[in-house]
Structure 1
Amino acid sequence: MPKITTRTYDSQAFESLHRDGLPPVLARIYAARGIGHSAQLEMALARLLPFDQIRNIHLMAGLLADAIKARKRLLIIADYDSDGATACAVGIRILRMMGADVGYLVPNRFEYGYGLTPEIVDLAYTTSRPDILITVDNGIASIDGVQAAKALGMQVLITDHHLPGDELPEATAIINPNQPGCPFPSKHIAGVGVIFYLMLALRAEFRQRGAFDTDKEPKLAGFLDLVALGTVADVVKLDDNNRILVQQGLRRIQAGLACSGINALLKIAGRKVQQTSTYDLGFILGPRLNAAGRLDDMSLGIECLITDDAGAAEQMARQLDALNVRRREIESNMQDSALSKLESSLHAESARIQSAYSVCLFDQSWHQGVIGILASRIKDRYHRPVIIFAPGNDGEMKGSGRSIPGFHLRDALDLVAKRYPEIIVKFGGHAAAAGLTIVAERFVQFCEAFETIAQSLLTEADLTRVIETDGELDESDMNMELAQHLTRQVWGQGFPQPTFNAGFYVESQRVVGEKHLKLKLRKMPSGSMPAQDLTSGISYDAILFFHNDLLPDVINAVYRLQINEFNGRTMLQLLLEHWSQAEAKSIG
């Protein structure tokens, strides 16, 4: 059973925000998310961190400007997820706008795996003969790949955001806010954000060289739709800088100024452009874009994002949508298989999970492109670090992991690799997500080693899921005005959408669409009252998705304020995220 807690907040931050004019409920919400003054809520482009704080960015911008002037052949090496695809699209679009001879190559995950490997370098050399390779959303761990490129006479410029290992590649230049010695404060910027910042620096370099007429200088803010999509889809922490990037990108999408690919994906998904939210970026567009890299070739996703032909974009969006449908089917079958392993009384994994601090699973039939999603689903269900493996090439297994708060997954894999160097072939990632390749015959040994690390870093309390809320809302605050304000704000990883908790009487309930529960709720007062007195207070519409069993008469619920538009009417609705049975309050 999850533990429900109320987010704490700094009282001085609360007072500062309240003095600046925010009502107490909003001051409390923002203070609980680390906002100390109202200026942090201003989303103007002028508040973006300056690019010159990124180590080596002037060096790399100068190298690119020289290469473009000399008509050197550039080749972007992209990653096969949404962040990599949007980063590639930003690089291709802007570099071509600035006169570059640039193409791209995205590794097929099933043939070449992740990043700038020696095999990808050979492929790039034989097919394109580039002078310079530019990595986006990868490269910081590509020691051997960079050496292979140098041996073939190619320069390598690395743009990445992943955590570096003990050794850095010997590239011509590296920009990565997480590399040692980089003072850029936003350590959570996505790969698409890094390449966008490089493009800002490149424009400044050309400006300094007098390359632009004032009226012909490229307007790079027009590419923030792609930056917003990649940032949200990559589930990076939405710090102040990332929120500005996302908010500015969303405004352009909502104004109908997005690229043809984003507009086409929204249309295929049946979403209204004017109402696009971070939810649409992360859960509607992101999965459709990712489906290409998971099941086929991310080149389809990249082409959808770089074309200016609306008809071609729509055709590719339909292909991406079909791939996503297929991905969901594969994922469902894999999830059924995994749960049967974990919940069957006859299966060894079922007994082990009760006392284990981690979950590692492998099945010969599992699809390599979907194991990350399955890891996320199992992590949510069991609240443990999870790594799911699928067959790889040449006696290897490919793994994808997801973690819980308090357990840094990439660092945990680093510990395994150092203690047991014979197990892991390669790995990389972040605190919450990571990928790895292991020697197949060492699978059992890896599971044991990973469990040992998990037990050393986690406590039993860490294995209990905690649902944080923003406490109880007064009925005076449960209104459309607050719901509309919250709807306009950017929420996401590290800046969670506000949720509230309270007790409710269930006045009525019915199943809609065969799988959702539509309810009428009346909030239980904070004080005591007779259980049968339901005459005071306000009645609220509520929805509980993917639940078709009726609830008890009295519940405790965690909910969000939502605006529901139906048949031309706009109404306040409570979206239930968690519920448990409660006792009606009575007079003491």
Structure 2
Amino acid sequence: MESVKWRKKELEDTGRCESLRKGLGVHALTARLLSLRGVQDVDVAEKFLSPSLRDLPHPTVMKGVDKACERIASAILSNERIVIYGDYDVDGVTSTSLLTLFFRSIGVPEERVNFFIPNRVLHGYGLRPACIPLVEELGCDLMITVDCGITSVDEVRLAKERGIETIIIDHHLTPPDLPDAFAILNPHQPGCQYPDKGLAAVGVTFNLVMALRAHLRERGYFNERPEPNLKQFLDIVALGTVADVVPVGGVNRIFVRVGLQQMKRTQWLGLDSLLRTARVNVERLAAGTLGYQLGPRINAAGRLRDAAIGVKLLTTENPSEAYRLSEELDQENRKRREIEKHIHNEARNMLQQSEKMLAEPAIVLSHEGWHPGVIGIVASRLVEEFHRPTVVIAMEKGVGKGSARSIRGFHLHQGFTACQAHLEQFGGHAMAAGLTIHVDEIVPFRRAFTEHARQVLTPDDLCPTLEFDAEFSPSDLSDMLLEEIEELEPYGISNPAPLLVGRKVPVVQQKLVGAEGKHLSLRVGVSAQRSLKAIAFGQHNVYPLPHEITLAYRPQFDYWQGKRSIQLQIKKIYPIEEITESPMF
């Protein structure tokens, strides 16, 4: 068995957890789960469990929003030409779509609003100098960047020289020197009083839309035209928020919870078609649906071809076009998976053929011809398997483009900074980053990066840790308890799906399932007459199992032929002798 530390999360204050249980009238496990997620007061818990749009901060507390509203309103009223410049990921695509749809909903002529999204391979990330003339060709008086622009000092200056004013909507960490834009909306910028700093760009964009509608209302804009209900846009906001893997607490929790309900009756033809293409049961919508089924399909176009396809899909008013584009994205996603699988297999083979690389505290792999649009996903897969900071570099014509993912305890941006003598460009944050490198520098960079990891990481850091919320026997699960637990959704960063541990769980049935037999299907005994269905994805290597196991699992409802039953999604399985500590819950 691989070496994995199992660690129970500890409560800071068990007394407050008990008060929460009594005050809410919930199960002790539910109270513990809430407390572990920082929800320790009854009033806070009630808002957490029933998020409402009424609890959103007023958008005008966001620095720059009033100035942005004044400029955009002026552009609308004087028939200026507006170009929305978005990033090529789901956050950028949904932000671009949101603004496009809002302008359409308030009657701005379509010929006055355009959008531009750079090509990942040809242009690279963000607002690029080579893209400014392309924006100018579209006809542009005012450029609004979404999900990019906060570091684009030179590019904003170039746009101004060409007679284009810029408003920046971004959520990335701000540099010391900000662009000289007309207005900047970013919760991280100095002086911004917006209380929630964890918004995705689409969340910042929605705040602008809320403030802009109010500003136009005050100016009498809606005296002669209908005022849009902004709730209709929250399904798009939820999609971008979940796909960008930002924390799902606070404002984001409101956006996602309300947005998921809105998505069940979405009025956007493209989103409805995408749900159908992905074969989503809208009555069972969850954050995971957005992150694992919808988001990858929209991302696929940006990774392999043209992210504008995603914007066209989300904004189309033509049913035939909606169907065609959703099918096109589905095909692109299939291609993405095949390319990703091929590169992942090559990368794993390179590692497994080198004992030296497997012994190092960091992984740096490079290859000619790897597609730069999927190497970030491959890096994530390798981190999951080998638990090492990982950099995957796609080389072409003497230049390497790399994506990196990390583990707890290793800050990627700091690691790249320590090795910057070998890099052409780099950027990112603690857990994800990217770089550009000359191929001649890859070997010295690998040495320097690995040495930095050796200095920073301890042996414990390199041992994967399975953190669980509580020890709780599957035999104690009930429909009522699971209904309580489901109120914690939507899950994501800062609010992970509860992970429980059961000991000495009897295995009643077991078999390998899936096209390649890679998944393990079980029935585990919870009483003499009752057993529960369980599924362990990708865990064929532990088959066959002994009669009793220790398992880390997530309880969930399974729906089949109109019936509901409890199912366990198994994260990890160990023979009972592998974990010897006394019960911890």
For the criterion TM > 0.5, the same-fold answer is yes
Residue of structure 2 in register with 1:491 after alignment: 491
Q: Where in structure 2 are the equivalents of 1:265-344 lying within 5 Å? A: 265-344=274-353
Residue of structure 1 in register with 2:583 after alignment: none
Correspondent of 2:238 among 228, 243, 250: 228
Correspondent of 2:408 among 405, 408, 428: 405
**1:306, 1:560 → 2: CA distance?**
37
Structure 1 position 542 matched with structure 2 position 534: yes
Q: Deviations over 1:428-457 (max 9, x none)?
A: 333322222223322223323333433343
Displacement of 1:547 after TM fit? 3.8
> Which deviates the most, 37-46 or 280-289?
37-46
**1:442, 1:291 → 2: CA distance?**
30
Displacement of 1:391 after TM fit? 2.5
**1:262, 1:430 → 2: CA distance?**
31
* Contact 1:559–1:576 (8 Å) recurs in 2: yes
Structure 1 position 122 matched with structure 2 position 154: no
Residue of structure 2 in register with 1:17 after alignment: 20
Displacement of 1:467 after TM fit? 1.2
**1:457, 1:206 → 2: CA distance?**
53
Residue of structure 1 in register with 2:206 after alignment: 196
> Which deviates the most, 196-205 or 567-576?
567-576
Displacement of 1:3 after TM fit? 1.1
Displacement of 1:561 after TM fit? 0.7
Give the letter aligned to residue 12 of structure 2: D
Relative distance call for 1:299 and 1:69 in structure 2 (3 A) is: same
Unaligned runs of 5+ in 1: 524-534
Report the 3-state secondary structure (helix = DSSP H, G, I; strand = E; otherwise coil) of the residue aligned with 1:313: helix
* Contact 2:106–2:226 (8 Å) recurs in 1: no
Report the 3-state secondary structure (helix = DSSP H, G, I; strand = E; otherwise coil) of the residue aligned with 1:237: coil
* Contact 2:106–2:227 (8 Å) recurs in 1: no
Aligned residues: 563
* Contact 2:300–2:332 (8 Å) recurs in 1: yes
Displacement of 1:334 after TM fit? 0.2
**2:51, 2:390 → 1: CA distance?**
36
Residue of structure 1 in register with 2:463 after alignment: 464
Q: Where in structure 2 are the equivalents of 1:66-465 lying within 5 Å? A: 66-100=74-108, 101-125=112-136, 127-213=137-223, 216-254=226-264, 256-344=265-353, 347=354, 350-354=355-359, 356-391=360-395, 395-417=398-420, 420=421, 423-465=422-464
Displacement of 1:193 after TM fit? 0.7
Displacement of 1:538 after TM fit? 4.8
Structure 1 position 575 matched with structure 2 position 569: yes
**1:13, 1:318 → 2: CA distance?**
51
Displacement of 1:236 after TM fit? 0.9
Residue of structure 2 in register with 1:529 after alignment: none
> Which deviates the most, 215-224 or 499-508?
215-224
Q: Deviations over 1:287-315 (max 9, x none)?
A: 11100000110011111111122332121
**2:491, 2:257 → 1: CA distance?**
10
Unaligned runs of 5+ in 2: 581-585
**2:356, 2:418 → 1: CA distance?**
26
Q: Where in structure 2 are the equivalents of 1:52-67 lying within 5 Å? A: 52-67=60-75
* Contact 1:410–1:428 (8 Å) recurs in 2: yes
Report the 3-state secondary structure (helix = DSSP H, G, I; strand = E; otherwise coil) of the residue aligned with 1:113: coil
**2:448, 2:578 → 1: CA distance?**
49
Displacement of 1:513 after TM fit? 3.9
**1:13, 1:202 → 2: CA distance?**
42
TM-score (norm 1): 0.91
Give the letter aligned to residue 228 of structure 1: A
Displacement of 1:209 after TM fit? 1.6
Relative distance call for 1:36 and 1:585 in structure 2 (3 A) is: closer
Q: Deviations over 1:71-116 (max 9, x none)?
A: 1111111111111111110011112323442110000111111111
Structure 1 position 522 matched with structure 2 position 514: no
Displacement of 1:410 after TM fit? 3.1
Relative distance call for 1:131 and 1:425 in structure 2 (3 A) is: farther
Give the letter aligned to residue 455 of structure 1: R
Report the 3-state secondary structure (helix = DSSP H, G, I; strand = E; otherwise coil) of the residue aligned with 1:76: strand
Relative distance call for 1:555 and 1:75 in structure 2 (3 A) is: same
**1:428, 1:67 → 2: CA distance?**
34
**1:469, 1:279 → 2: CA distance?**
19
* Contact 2:30–2:485 (8 Å) recurs in 1: no
Give the letter aligned to residue 301 of structure 2: A
* Contact 2:86–2:145 (8 Å) recurs in 1: yes
**1:585, 1:269 → 2: CA distance?**
40
**1:570, 1:263 → 2: CA distance?**
26
**2:158, 2:566 → 1: CA distance?**
59
Displacement of 1:214 after TM fit? 9.7
Report the 3-state secondary structure (helix = DSSP H, G, I; strand = E; otherwise coil) of the residue aligned with 1:86: helix
* Contact 1:225–1:259 (8 Å) recurs in 2: no
Displacement of 1:398 after TM fit? 1.2
Displacement of 1:46 after TM fit? 0.6
Structure 1 position 43 matched with structure 2 position 48: no
Displacement of 1:537 after TM fit? 8.3
Report the 3-state secondary structure (helix = DSSP H, G, I; strand = E; otherwise coil) of the residue aligned with 1:245: helix
Residue of structure 2 in register with 1:34 after alignment: 38
TM-score (norm 2): 0.91
Relative distance call for 1:154 and 1:54 in structure 2 (3 A) is: same
**1:585, 1:160 → 2: CA distance?**
46
Relative distance call for 1:398 and 1:218 in structure 2 (3 A) is: same
Q: Deviations over 1:457-502 (max 9, x none)?
A: 3322122211111112255740122333434521011210001001
* Contact 2:473–2:502 (8 Å) recurs in 1: no
Displacement of 1:415 after TM fit? 4.4
Q: Deviations over 1:41-60 (max 9, x none)?
A: 33110111221221111111
Give the letter aligned to residue 535 of structure 2: I
Displacement of 1:62 after TM fit? 1.2
**2:500, 2:267 → 1: CA distance?**
34
Relative distance call for 1:258 and 1:574 in structure 2 (3 A) is: farther
Structure 1 position 6 matched with structure 2 position 15: no
Displacement of 1:257 after TM fit? 2.3
Q: CA RMSD in A?
A: 2.2
